[in-house]
C-alpha cells in the first residue's frame, strides 16, 4: 500500500509521470497510481496525458515554459512568512473586515460554497467601495514612508 504524501511540487509530479511513462505505463494507470500517493493534490488526468504527450515528443524540461503576460501569483515563501509575521505581531491587523462581517455566522460544507459566497460578496459591492479603499492606500503609504515603516492604521 502506498503512503500518502502531504505536499509535492509540480515538477516532482511531472517527474513521476515521466518515470512511469518511460516504463510503459498508460496515462490512466499513471494517474490512478499517483492519485493513491498524492490524493487531492494530484494533477488531473488530462494533465497526466498532456505531459505523457510532451515526453513522447521529446521534452525533458519539467518546469513550466515561460509565458508572456502578468504573473498569476506572487506567493513565494518569503512573502508568506512576512505577511504571517506581520499579522501575528500585531493583532490589530484585520484583513477584509467587511467580508468577515458578511460571512459571520454562515456555515459552509465545501470550498466551492465558500468561493461562491465570497464571489457574491465581491459582486454585491458598488464600485465606490473599491475606489475608496484604493484611494485610502495613498495616504496610508505616505504615512508609512514618513514614519519609516513604523506605522499601523488605528
Q: Which of 3-12, 53-62, 75-84, 140-149 has the highest mean pLDDT?
A: 53-62
Please return the burial class of 25, using the count of CB atoms within 10 Å of its CB with bins 0-12, 13-18 and 19+: middle
Tens digits of residue pLDDT in 31-73:
999 999 998 889 999 999 999 999 999 999 998 887 777 666 6
Q: What are phi and psi of 127, to 5 degrees?
A: -55, -40
Rounded to a whole number of angstroms, the CA Rg of the chain reads 22
Q: What is the pLDDT of residue 95?
A: 56
pTM, full prediction: 0.45
Please return the burial class of 49, using the count of CB atoms within 10 Å of its CB with bins 0-12, 13-18 and 19+: middle
Per the model's pLDDT, the better-predicted residue between 73 and 16 turns out to be 16
Tens digits of residue pLDDT in 84-120:
777 677 655 555 778 888 888 999 898 899 889 988 8
Amino acid at each position: 500500500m502506498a503512503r500518502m504524501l502531504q505536499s509535492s511540487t509540480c515538477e516532482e509530479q511531472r517527474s513521476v509521470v515521466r518515470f512511469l511513462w518511460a516504463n510503459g505505463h498508460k496515462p490512466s494507470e499513471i494517474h490512478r497510481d499517483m492519485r493513491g500517493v498524492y490524493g487531492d493534490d494530484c494533477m488531473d488526468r488530462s494533465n497526466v496525458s498532456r505531459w505523457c504527450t510532451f515526453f513522447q515528443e521529446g521534452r525533458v524540461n519539467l518546469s513550466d515554459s515561460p509565458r508572456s503576460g502578468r504573473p498569476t501569483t506572487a506567493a513565494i515563501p518569503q512573502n508568506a512568512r512576512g505577511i504571517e509575521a506581520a499579522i501575528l505581531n500585531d493583532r490589530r491587523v484585520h484583513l477584509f473586515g467587511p467580508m468577515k462581517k458578511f460571512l459571520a455566522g454562515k456555515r459552509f460544507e465545501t470550498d466551492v460554497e465558500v468561493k461562491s459566497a465570497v464571489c457574491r460578496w465581491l459582486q454585491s459591492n458598488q464600485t465606490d467601495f473599491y475606489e475608496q479603499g484604493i484611494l485610502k492606500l495613498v495616504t496610508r503609504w505616505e504615512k508609512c514612508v514618513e514614519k519609516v515603516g513604523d506605522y499601523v492604521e488605528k
